[in-house]
Amino acid sequence: MINHFLKYEFVYIVFFISLIFLYSSFIIKKTILKSACLIIFAILVSIIATEIILSFNMNQISSLPPVKYSKLTDLNIGKIRQVNILDVNDKMFFNVKQPVNKTGADVVFDVVLSVYANGFRYTKNNVDSDEAYVFLGCSNTFGHGLPDDETLPYYFSQFYNFNKNVINCAQGGRSINTAINVLQSNVLDSFTTKDTKIKYFIYSMLDSHINRNFKIGSYESANDNFILQNRQLKRVPQPFGIFKIIFSKSFIFNKVFLNKIEEHNSIYYQDYMLKSLNKLNDIVETKYKSKLIIMIWPKVNQNFVGRLKKTKLNLILLPESLCSNEYIILNDGHPNAQANKKIADILIKYINR
């Protein structure tokens, strides 16, 4: 019962308010005010009924669990299966153990991935090398829908004949907050030694990363609204954040009011992203005595890109061609092997310039 209340507290809040108006209709003597209270009560009850009905018919997206930032005791590699089947529901399956029924459906991808216990993806490399490269970002860098030998870190490691320590710390559905959390924790100690020199950190940024730092609602596609402070994850504050938390399960709120809040907060989100990229760069330089490269994907807000160009950050603006069908997994949208190979070439030329 407590868990139910915590998940749908907005329904109880509205119901409590409706009871106030119902009670007022009994004690108020003026006919007009009494009628007004009864009308408001009826409206609020209708809203509650609508929310309950819609909750049974709308698919809600569970919030992503926090990334495991604790240091690993070993580097054992596990396997997970990632399947995307294009049918009437456009289903996506993760950690599949049982056979998936593919009858009458198009398989977008069906791959087995190698991952560590904390969810970071394995890349063929030389973990004993004293020279390391760390990749940060979201599913594009993680290698969503691709086997181990088609990801961006793989092609980068291949250029060095797999003799360097290449670490893929990207996490699907995440943004800059996770990248900062990874660097502020000691999780990288699991993949390096005291003699390891991390030459470059590479953060890959999409336009969606700007808003992704503040996603809360269960109807939204990602949640990276926490930052690591004093070894504890604390929610990043934002304008109207309390309303987004309380009404996160509300279909009406998400469909009617959320977009207006996001538009109102757009500059705030950009300011936060800009500050966070500079913060990431400061951590890289001070804690790791290294350098940060930020790769900007096409279609990132041009006003934001203009502001980025005025900073001293190392930027790579990726070509528009990466958005064409030639470089994406069809019916999915994530970069394919050809795209990752091209990006690796661009990155290596930038480093060796």
- Mean pLDDT over 272-278 rounds to 98
At a CB cut-off of 8 Å and minimum separation 6, what does 41 contact? 18, 21, 22, 25
Q: At 16, is the pLDDT very low, low, confident or very high (cuts 50, 70, 90)?
A: confident
d(CA 319, CA 333): 16
Given a cut of 90, whether residue 102 has pLDDT beyond it is no
Q: Which two tokens stand for residue 109?
A: 């991808």
Q: What is the pTM of this model?
A: 0.88
Q: Given pLDDT bands bounded at 50, 70 and 90, which one contains residue 155?
A: very high
pLDDT at 140: 97
- Above 90 in pLDDT, residue 238? yes
Residue 95, pLDDT score: 64
Q: What's the pLDDT score for residue 59?
A: 60
Phi–psi pair at 114, nearest 5 degrees: -105, 125
| 220 pLDDT more than 70 | no
Would you say residue 268 has pLDDT above 60?
yes
- Residue-wise pLDDT for 23-72, tens only, equals 898 898 888 998 999 999 999 888 888 877 776 666 666 566 667 788 88
| The pLDDT of residue 107 | 83
When pLDDT is cut at 50, 70 and 90, the band that residue 182 belongs to is very high
Q: Work out the average pLDDT over 209-235.
A: 83
Distance (Å, rounded) from C-alpha 156 to C-alpha 168? 11
Would you place residue 154 in the very low, low, confident or very high pLDDT band (cuts 50, 70, 90)?
very high
Count Cα neighbours of 21 within 13 Å in the Cβ-side half-sphere.
Answer: 17
Integer Cα distance of 336 and 318 in angstroms: 15
Q: What is the pLDDT of residue 13?
A: 79
Q: Is 65 helix (H, G, I), strand (E, B) or coil?
A: coil
Q: What integer pLDDT is reported at residue 74 of this predicted model?
A: 87
Report the pLDDT averaged over residues 270-277: 98
Quickly state the pLDDT bin for 88 (edges 50, 70, 90). Answer: low
pLDDT: is 105 or 317 the higher one? Answer: 317
- Banded model confidence at residue 170, pLDDT cuts 50, 70, 90: very high
* Residue 1 pLDDT grade (very low, low, confident, very high; cuts 50, 70, 90): very low
- Which pLDDT value is given to residue 186? 86
pLDDT in tens, 292-335: 999 999 999 999 999 999 999 999 999 999 999 999 999 899 99
Q: In the prediction, which pLDDT does 5 show?
A: 44
